[in-house]
Amino acid sequence: MKKLMGLCAAIALLGGAGSAHAARDYVWAAGSSTVFPFATRVAENYARKTGMKAPNVESLGTGGGIKLFCGGVGDNFPDIANASRPMTQQEYDTCAANGVDDIVELKVGYDGIVIAADRGAPDYQFRLPHLYLALGANVLRGGKFVPNPYNNWNEIGPGLPDNRILVYGPPPTSGTRDAFVELGIEASALTYPTAKALRERDSDEFKQMTHPLRREGWVDSGENDNAIVQTLTKTPGSLGVFGYSFLEENGDKVKAMSIDGVAPTVATIAQGTYPLSRSIFIYVKKAHVGVTLGLQEFVTEFTSDAATGRGGYLQSRGLIPLLPPEHEAAKAAAANMTAMSRPD
């Protein structure tokens, strides 16, 4: 009788209120386009090793994936959110408000955000402040914020090419976009005393003035980073913003630009010396473990030495492995399903 009651409870949990269908027999992960190729490779290996159905992995962008993940518990919501930035406090609170109480945060590797062009393009030799001046909707001139007046790169700094400012990048739902704004645009703006003083005085106003990207010169290109790569090869003089893994896959077509004299490489991203370095994550809904068939096994595969360890099969896809102590911590958190705390 107890077993029957337990089975009924599991069906109710994953079926949702008023639903009569049973728990899903496959894992569902949604989110970051950067994490997407890694997650799909893990899904292929997991299915081959276990004989279970391959997980359904969707590329919705980090924000879109976490929003769906935080919508609730049950088979209408993903088991995993893939993310190319940490979950925010607001997202965590939305999860909690919808009954998603125990979330397991697993850092699975590093990635860098690159600014690239086709291989025939000149080398730009960016300094960090160039990014804000070129791409911010509002920039500082004479100590005041004004609508961005610059049209060509050589107006931004000496030595930059006389090319029109035209950058293809991810949309607002993308974690790559969020990270680029934080690591590139915001950090670039903070090199100016006026912007730094504004953040100290009013952080919300600082974000309102510095975070928006210009409408002329920045082009939202969807969640498909490969499409951006293809655009660069067809649009001379253009630049693209995407994850390092896509640079690795398309090194015969495009090249990355250095920032402050540092080129994006496995070493500079892992060490954090490349300015646009970041960590990537998966978030697991603990309430689905033991209910969604194969969820624990998939997470174990994702955090295994074979997948995300040094020399693992995801490294050949462009993932930059965690340092050994971090990797061991991720494996332990996955094994124990250790719930995260509310983000700072």
316-331: pLDDT as tens digits: 888 999 989 999 999 9
Q: Is residue 293 part of a domain?
A: yes
Q: Could you read off the pLDDT of 35-72 as tens digits, one per residue?
A: 999 999 999 999 999 999 999 999 998 999 999 999 99
Q: Are residues 294 and 157 in the same domain?
A: no
- 41's torsion region: left (phi>0), alpha (psi -120 to 50) or beta? alpha
- pLDDT value for 15: 45
Q: Are residues 261 and 305 in the same domain?
A: no
The boundaries of the domain holding residue 167 are 112-277
Q: Is residue 326 part of a domain?
A: yes
CATH code of 156's domain: 3.40.190.10
- pLDDT value for 11: 42
- pLDDT value for 198: 94
| Single-letter residue type at 229 | V
Q: Are residues 18 and 63 in the same domain?
A: yes
- pLDDT value for 271: 87
Q: Could you read off the pLDDT of 281-304 as tens digits, one per residue?
A: 999 999 999 999 999 999 999 999
Q: What is the Cα gyration radius of the chain?
A: 22
Q: Is residue 223 part of a domain?
A: yes
- Short-list 297, 302, 341, CA closest to 105: 341
Q: Are residues 224 and 261 in the same domain?
A: yes
Average pLDDT, the chain: 90
Q: Report how many domains make up the chain.
A: 2
Residue 235 buriedness (CB in 10 A; 0-12 / 13-18 / 19+): middle
**58, two tokens:** 């969707």
Q: Is residue 343 part of a domain?
A: no
Report how far residue 183's alpha carbon sits from residue 260's, in angstroms, rounded to the nearest whole number.
13
Q: Alpha carbon of 284 to those of 83, 199, 281, 323: distances in Å? A: 11, 34, 10, 22
- pLDDT value for 221: 87
Percent of the chain at pLDDT > 70 equals 93
- pLDDT value for 316: 82
Q: Is residue 342 part of a domain?
A: no
- pLDDT value for 175: 83
- pLDDT value for 224: 74
Is the Cα dihedral 258, 232, 207, 142 positive or negative? positive
- Short-list 211, 210, 197, 246, CA closest to 35: 246
Q: Is residue 58 part of a domain?
A: yes
Q: Could you read off the pLDDT of 185-233 as tens digits, one per residue?
A: 999 999 999 999 999 999 999 999 999 999 999 999 877 777 888 899 8
Q: Could you read off the pLDDT of 76-107 as tens digits, one per residue?
A: 999 999 999 999 999 999 999 999 999 999 99
Q: Are residues 269 and 141 in the same domain?
A: yes
Q: Is residue 341 part of a domain?
A: no
Of the three residues 248, 277, 306, the one that is the final residue of a domain is 277
- pLDDT value for 12: 44
Is the Cα dihedral 230, 233, 234, 237 positive or negative? positive
Of the three residues 228, 251, 277, the one that is the final residue of a domain is 277
Report how far residue 203's alpha carbon sits from residue 225's, in angstroms, rounded to the nearest whole number.
31
Q: Are residues 92 and 52 in the same domain?
A: yes
- pLDDT value for 30: 98
Contact yes or no for 140/194 (Cβ under 8 A): yes
Q: Are residues 137 and 272 in the same domain?
A: yes
Contact yes or no for 44/54 (Cβ under 8 A): yes
- 191's torsion region: left (phi>0), alpha (psi -120 to 50) or beta? alpha
Q: Are residues 320 and 238 in the same domain?
A: no
Mean pLDDT, residues 303-308 = 97
Q: Are residues 192 and 235 in the same domain?
A: yes
Q: Are residues 306 and 249 in the same domain?
A: no
Q: Is residue 284 part of a domain?
A: yes
Of the three residues 242, 259, 277, the one that is the final residue of a domain is 277
pTM here? 0.76
Q: Are residues 192 and 290 in the same domain?
A: no
**330, two tokens:** 């991720």
- pLDDT value for 87: 96
**177, two tokens:** 């976009």
Q: Are residues 155 and 262 in the same domain?
A: yes
Q: Could you read off the pLDDT of 141-189 as tens digits, one per residue?
A: 988 999 999 999 999 988 899 999 999 998 988 888 888 999 999 999 9
**Orientation angle between helical segments 89-97 and 62-69, nearest 10 degrees:** 30
- pLDDT value for 129: 93
**Does the pLDDT at position 6 exceed 80?**
no
